[in-house]
Amino acid sequence: MALSEFQYTGEDFRLTQEMKDAYEENGFMIIKGLITPEEHKKLKEAVESSQALQKYSYGVGDGADRKMRMCLLKHPGNNVIGMVSRCEKVAGTAEQILGGEVYHYHSKVIMKDARTGGKFVWHQDYGYWYNNFIVFPDMLSVLMPIDPSLKENGCLQVLVGSHKCGRINHGKIGGQTGADLKRLEMVKTFCPHKYVELQPGDALFQHSNLLHTSEPNNSDMRRWMFIVAYNKASNNPVKQHFLPSYTKLHKVKDSAILDCKNEDDLDDELFVDPKVDFTIDLQA
Protein backbone atom coordinates (compact mmCIF):
# COMPACT_ATOMS: atom_id res chain seq x y z
CA MET A 1 0.00 0.00 0.00
CA ALA A 2 1.33 3.41 -0.92
CA LEU A 3 1.92 5.93 1.86
CA SER A 4 -1.42 7.55 2.67
CA GLU A 5 -0.51 10.09 5.41
CA PHE A 6 1.19 13.42 4.82
CA GLN A 7 1.88 16.46 6.98
CA TYR A 8 0.57 19.98 6.42
CA THR A 9 3.53 22.31 5.94
CA GLY A 10 1.89 25.69 6.39
CA GLU A 11 1.52 28.51 3.90
CA ASP A 12 3.82 26.82 1.39
CA PHE A 13 1.61 23.71 1.28
CA ARG A 14 1.03 22.27 -2.18
CA LEU A 15 -0.39 18.97 -3.34
CA THR A 16 2.56 16.83 -4.41
CA GLN A 17 2.74 14.05 -6.96
CA GLU A 18 3.30 11.60 -4.10
CA MET A 19 0.03 12.71 -2.52
CA LYS A 20 -1.85 12.35 -5.81
CA ASP A 21 -0.32 8.91 -6.36
CA ALA A 22 -1.44 7.81 -2.88
CA TYR A 23 -4.98 9.02 -3.57
CA GLU A 24 -5.09 7.19 -6.90
CA GLU A 25 -3.59 4.00 -5.45
CA ASN A 26 -5.47 3.78 -2.14
CA GLY A 27 -8.65 5.75 -2.81
CA PHE A 28 -7.90 8.19 -0.01
CA MET A 29 -5.18 10.50 1.28
CA ILE A 30 -4.75 12.10 4.71
CA ILE A 31 -3.14 15.46 5.41
CA LYS A 32 -2.32 15.63 9.11
CA GLY A 33 -2.90 19.05 10.66
CA LEU A 34 -4.39 20.65 7.54
CA ILE A 35 -6.75 22.57 9.85
CA THR A 36 -4.58 24.34 12.41
CA PRO A 37 -5.43 24.20 16.15
CA GLU A 38 -6.69 27.80 16.05
CA GLU A 39 -8.82 27.11 12.97
CA HIS A 40 -10.18 23.92 14.47
CA LYS A 41 -11.14 25.74 17.66
CA LYS A 42 -13.22 28.22 15.63
CA LEU A 43 -14.81 25.45 13.54
CA LYS A 44 -15.67 23.38 16.62
CA GLU A 45 -17.21 26.38 18.38
CA ALA A 46 -19.24 27.27 15.27
CA VAL A 47 -20.56 23.72 14.90
CA GLU A 48 -21.38 23.28 18.58
CA SER A 49 -23.07 26.67 18.95
CA SER A 50 -25.19 26.38 15.80
CA GLN A 51 -28.87 26.10 16.68
CA ALA A 52 -29.62 25.57 12.99
CA LEU A 53 -27.46 22.43 12.83
CA GLN A 54 -29.42 20.98 15.73
CA LYS A 55 -32.76 22.14 14.33
CA TYR A 56 -32.16 20.50 10.95
CA SER A 57 -30.47 17.32 12.17
CA TYR A 58 -32.25 14.01 11.68
CA GLY A 59 -31.69 10.32 12.34
CA VAL A 60 -31.27 7.62 9.71
CA GLY A 61 -31.70 3.97 10.69
CA ASP A 62 -28.65 1.72 10.36
CA GLY A 63 -30.50 -1.57 9.78
CA ALA A 64 -29.90 -2.61 13.38
CA ASP A 65 -31.37 -0.86 16.41
CA ARG A 66 -29.82 2.60 16.19
CA LYS A 67 -29.92 5.75 14.14
CA MET A 68 -27.07 7.81 12.76
CA ARG A 69 -27.76 11.53 13.30
CA MET A 70 -26.69 14.11 10.73
CA CYS A 71 -27.61 17.33 8.96
CA LEU A 72 -27.02 18.23 5.33
CA LEU A 73 -26.14 21.61 3.78
CA LYS A 74 -26.70 22.46 0.11
CA HIS A 75 -24.43 25.49 0.02
CA PRO A 76 -21.63 26.87 2.19
CA GLY A 77 -22.55 29.85 4.29
CA ASN A 78 -20.51 32.93 5.09
CA ASN A 79 -19.58 31.98 8.63
CA VAL A 80 -16.60 29.89 9.76
CA ILE A 81 -18.20 26.63 8.61
CA GLY A 82 -18.54 28.06 5.11
CA MET A 83 -15.00 29.45 5.12
CA VAL A 84 -13.60 25.97 5.79
CA SER A 85 -15.61 24.58 2.85
CA ARG A 86 -14.41 27.36 0.56
CA CYS A 87 -10.77 27.81 1.60
CA GLU A 88 -7.93 27.14 -0.80
CA LYS A 89 -6.26 24.35 1.17
CA VAL A 90 -9.50 22.35 1.23
CA ALA A 91 -11.43 23.26 -1.93
CA GLY A 92 -8.27 24.07 -3.90
CA THR A 93 -6.72 20.72 -3.01
CA ALA A 94 -9.93 19.00 -4.15
CA GLU A 95 -9.57 20.79 -7.49
CA GLN A 96 -5.98 19.65 -7.86
CA ILE A 97 -6.94 16.04 -7.14
CA LEU A 98 -9.90 16.02 -9.53
CA GLY A 99 -8.07 18.00 -12.18
CA GLY A 100 -10.40 20.94 -12.67
CA GLU A 101 -12.91 23.35 -11.19
CA VAL A 102 -15.16 21.94 -8.46
CA TYR A 103 -18.31 23.15 -6.76
CA HIS A 104 -19.76 22.50 -3.31
CA TYR A 105 -22.13 19.56 -3.76
CA HIS A 106 -23.01 19.34 -0.10
CA SER A 107 -21.53 19.42 3.36
CA LYS A 108 -22.73 17.69 6.47
CA VAL A 109 -22.10 17.14 10.12
CA ILE A 110 -22.22 13.52 11.28
CA MET A 111 -23.19 13.39 14.95
CA LYS A 112 -22.27 10.10 16.60
CA ASP A 113 -23.05 10.85 20.20
CA ALA A 114 -21.63 8.75 23.01
CA ARG A 115 -23.32 5.37 23.56
CA THR A 116 -26.08 6.15 21.06
CA GLY A 117 -24.61 6.94 17.65
CA GLY A 118 -25.51 4.40 14.96
CA LYS A 119 -23.33 2.97 12.24
CA PHE A 120 -22.85 3.76 8.58
CA VAL A 121 -23.30 0.57 6.54
CA TRP A 122 -20.73 -0.33 3.88
CA HIS A 123 -21.23 1.92 0.88
CA GLN A 124 -19.62 4.09 -1.76
CA ASP A 125 -20.53 7.77 -1.81
CA TYR A 126 -21.13 7.42 -5.52
CA GLY A 127 -23.54 4.61 -4.63
CA TYR A 128 -25.76 7.44 -3.39
CA TRP A 129 -24.80 10.08 -5.93
CA TYR A 130 -25.27 7.77 -8.94
CA ASN A 131 -28.99 7.94 -8.16
CA ASN A 132 -28.81 11.74 -8.28
CA PHE A 133 -28.38 11.79 -12.09
CA ILE A 134 -24.60 12.28 -11.93
CA VAL A 135 -22.92 10.39 -14.77
CA PHE A 136 -19.26 10.24 -13.68
CA PRO A 137 -17.65 9.58 -10.27
CA ASP A 138 -15.58 12.78 -10.59
CA MET A 139 -16.33 13.67 -6.99
CA LEU A 140 -14.68 13.43 -3.60
CA SER A 141 -15.34 14.03 0.07
CA VAL A 142 -13.13 15.74 2.64
CA LEU A 143 -13.54 14.42 6.18
CA MET A 144 -12.51 16.74 9.02
CA PRO A 145 -13.07 15.44 12.56
CA ILE A 146 -14.53 17.73 15.19
CA ASP A 147 -13.61 15.17 17.87
CA PRO A 148 -10.95 12.46 17.92
CA SER A 149 -12.12 9.71 15.57
CA LEU A 150 -10.90 6.43 17.02
CA LYS A 151 -11.64 2.73 16.75
CA GLU A 152 -13.32 2.93 20.17
CA ASN A 153 -15.91 5.50 19.09
CA GLY A 154 -16.71 4.17 15.65
CA CYS A 155 -14.09 5.62 13.32
CA LEU A 156 -14.00 5.30 9.55
CA GLN A 157 -13.14 1.92 8.05
CA VAL A 158 -12.15 1.46 4.42
CA LEU A 159 -11.29 -1.24 1.91
CA VAL A 160 -8.01 0.10 0.57
CA GLY A 161 -7.99 0.39 -3.22
CA SER A 162 -11.65 -0.60 -3.58
CA HIS A 163 -12.37 2.50 -5.66
CA LYS A 164 -10.72 0.66 -8.55
CA CYS A 165 -13.67 -1.75 -8.67
CA GLY A 166 -15.90 1.02 -9.99
CA ARG A 167 -19.40 1.51 -8.70
CA ILE A 168 -21.02 -1.64 -7.34
CA ASN A 169 -24.75 -2.15 -6.90
CA HIS A 170 -26.41 -0.62 -3.85
CA GLY A 171 -29.77 -1.12 -2.16
CA LYS A 172 -31.61 -0.06 0.97
CA ILE A 173 -30.24 -1.28 4.30
CA GLY A 174 -32.29 0.20 7.11
CA GLY A 175 -32.76 3.82 6.14
CA GLN A 176 -29.43 3.98 4.34
CA THR A 177 -28.12 3.05 0.90
CA GLY A 178 -25.71 0.15 1.26
CA ALA A 179 -23.40 -1.86 -0.98
CA ASP A 180 -24.46 -5.28 -2.29
CA LEU A 181 -23.24 -7.61 0.46
CA LYS A 182 -22.24 -10.52 -1.80
CA ARG A 183 -20.18 -8.22 -3.99
CA LEU A 184 -18.71 -6.60 -0.88
CA GLU A 185 -17.36 -9.97 0.29
CA MET A 186 -15.74 -10.48 -3.11
CA VAL A 187 -14.02 -7.11 -2.89
CA LYS A 188 -12.74 -7.93 0.60
CA THR A 189 -10.69 -10.82 -0.82
CA PHE A 190 -8.59 -8.31 -2.77
CA CYS A 191 -8.72 -5.02 -0.85
CA PRO A 192 -7.24 -4.80 2.67
CA HIS A 193 -9.52 -3.65 5.47
CA LYS A 194 -8.21 -0.65 7.43
CA TYR A 195 -9.40 1.36 10.44
CA VAL A 196 -8.64 5.03 9.77
CA GLU A 197 -8.18 6.98 12.98
CA LEU A 198 -8.09 10.76 12.72
CA GLN A 199 -7.38 13.60 15.12
CA PRO A 200 -8.95 17.08 15.10
CA GLY A 201 -7.13 19.10 12.46
CA ASP A 202 -6.60 16.16 10.11
CA ALA A 203 -8.30 16.06 6.71
CA LEU A 204 -8.99 12.91 4.70
CA PHE A 205 -9.65 13.25 0.97
CA GLN A 206 -11.77 10.30 -0.14
CA HIS A 207 -12.56 8.97 -3.64
CA SER A 208 -16.29 8.71 -4.36
CA ASN A 209 -16.02 4.97 -5.14
CA LEU A 210 -14.03 3.97 -2.04
CA LEU A 211 -15.97 1.40 -0.01
CA HIS A 212 -16.22 2.52 3.59
CA THR A 213 -18.21 2.04 6.78
CA SER A 214 -18.17 2.95 10.46
CA GLU A 215 -19.40 1.10 13.54
CA PRO A 216 -21.82 2.37 16.20
CA ASN A 217 -20.36 4.55 18.91
CA ASN A 218 -20.40 2.35 22.02
CA SER A 219 -17.92 4.51 23.89
CA ASP A 220 -18.29 7.42 26.30
CA MET A 221 -16.65 9.70 23.70
CA ARG A 222 -18.64 11.79 21.24
CA ARG A 223 -17.61 11.52 17.59
CA TRP A 224 -18.68 14.40 15.35
CA MET A 225 -17.32 14.81 11.84
CA PHE A 226 -17.57 17.67 9.34
CA ILE A 227 -17.59 16.45 5.73
CA VAL A 228 -17.55 18.48 2.51
CA ALA A 229 -18.39 16.84 -0.82
CA TYR A 230 -17.21 18.41 -4.06
CA ASN A 231 -18.33 17.66 -7.60
CA LYS A 232 -16.30 18.54 -10.68
CA ALA A 233 -17.92 21.43 -12.55
CA SER A 234 -17.86 19.44 -15.80
CA ASN A 235 -19.83 16.64 -14.10
CA ASN A 236 -23.04 18.62 -13.69
CA PRO A 237 -26.09 16.42 -12.91
CA VAL A 238 -28.20 15.82 -16.00
CA LYS A 239 -31.39 16.35 -14.00
CA GLN A 240 -32.19 18.66 -11.10
CA HIS A 241 -32.68 17.01 -7.71
CA PHE A 242 -32.58 17.91 -4.02
CA LEU A 243 -28.84 18.74 -4.09
CA PRO A 244 -27.25 21.54 -6.13
CA SER A 245 -26.42 21.53 -9.78
CA TYR A 246 -23.31 23.51 -10.70
CA THR A 247 -23.03 26.63 -8.58
CA LYS A 248 -19.88 28.77 -8.76
CA LEU A 249 -17.75 28.17 -5.67
CA HIS A 250 -16.20 31.41 -4.51
CA LYS A 251 -13.00 30.18 -2.92
CA VAL A 252 -11.31 32.19 -0.18
CA LYS A 253 -7.78 32.43 1.17
CA ASP A 254 -6.91 30.10 4.01
CA SER A 255 -6.60 33.14 6.27
CA ALA A 256 -10.37 33.71 5.88
CA ILE A 257 -11.06 31.03 8.49
CA LEU A 258 -9.40 32.95 11.30
CA ASP A 259 -10.32 36.34 9.85
CA CYS A 260 -14.02 35.48 9.70
CA LYS A 261 -16.01 37.70 12.06
CA ASN A 262 -19.42 36.49 10.93
CA GLU A 263 -20.91 34.78 13.97
CA ASP A 264 -24.40 34.54 12.49
CA ASP A 265 -25.93 31.09 12.40
CA LEU A 266 -26.42 29.27 9.11
CA ASP A 267 -29.48 30.36 7.13
CA ASP A 268 -32.47 28.02 6.94
CA GLU A 269 -32.40 27.86 3.14
CA LEU A 270 -28.93 26.30 3.18
CA PHE A 271 -30.23 23.05 4.65
CA VAL A 272 -31.67 19.99 2.90
CA ASP A 273 -35.10 18.84 4.02
CA PRO A 274 -34.60 15.08 4.55
CA LYS A 275 -38.15 14.45 3.36
CA VAL A 276 -37.03 15.22 -0.22
CA ASP A 277 -33.90 13.04 -0.04
CA PHE A 278 -34.93 9.92 -1.96
CA THR A 279 -31.66 8.13 -1.13
CA ILE A 280 -32.68 7.59 2.51
CA ASP A 281 -35.73 6.23 4.35
CA LEU A 282 -36.58 8.12 7.52
CA GLN A 283 -39.14 5.49 8.54
CA ALA A 284 -36.74 2.55 8.56
* Residue-level pLDDT, tens digit, the chain, 284 residues: 567 999 999 988 999 999 999 999 999 999 999 999 999 999 999 999 999 999 999 988 877 778 888 999 999 989 999 999 999 999 999 999 999 999 999 999 999 999 987 888 999 999 999 999 999 999 999 999 999 999 999 999 999 999 999 999 999 988 899 999 999 999 999 999 999 999 999 999 999 999 999 999 999 999 999 999 999 999 999 999 999 999 999 999 999 999 999 988 899 989 999 999 988 888 76
> Which of 67, 53, 92, 73 has its CA nearest to residue 203?
92
Our CA angle for 278, 82, 89, nearest 5°, is: 110
Strands 5-7 and 28-32: what pairing? parallel
CA distance 22 to 17: 9
Q: What is the pLDDT of residue 64?
A: 78
Using a 10 angstrom Cβ sphere, with 0-12 exposed, 13-18 middle and 19 or more buried, the burial of residue 273 is exposed
Which residues, listed in sequence order, are joined to residue 120 by a DSSP beta bridge?
214
Q: What is the pLDDT of residue 281?
A: 81
- Encoded amino acid at 12, one letter: D
Q: What is the pLDDT of residue 284?
A: 65
Q: What is the pLDDT of residue 66?
A: 84
| CB-based contact 129:139 (threshold 8 Å) | yes
**Torsion angles phi and psi, residue 276, rounded to 5:** -100, 0
| Strand residues in 33-146 grouped as ranges (E) | 58-61, 67-73, 102-112, 120-123, 139-145
Domain 18-251+270-274, second-level architecture:
Sandwich (2.60)
Our CA angle for 71, 72, 75, nearest 5°, is: 140
CA distance 173 to 63: 5
H or E element, residue 184: helix 181-188
**Torsion angles phi and psi, residue 192, rounded to 5:** -60, 140
Distances (CA, A) of 210 to 68, 96, 134, 218: 20, 19, 17, 25
> Which of 33, 23, 18 has its CA nearest to residue 160?
23
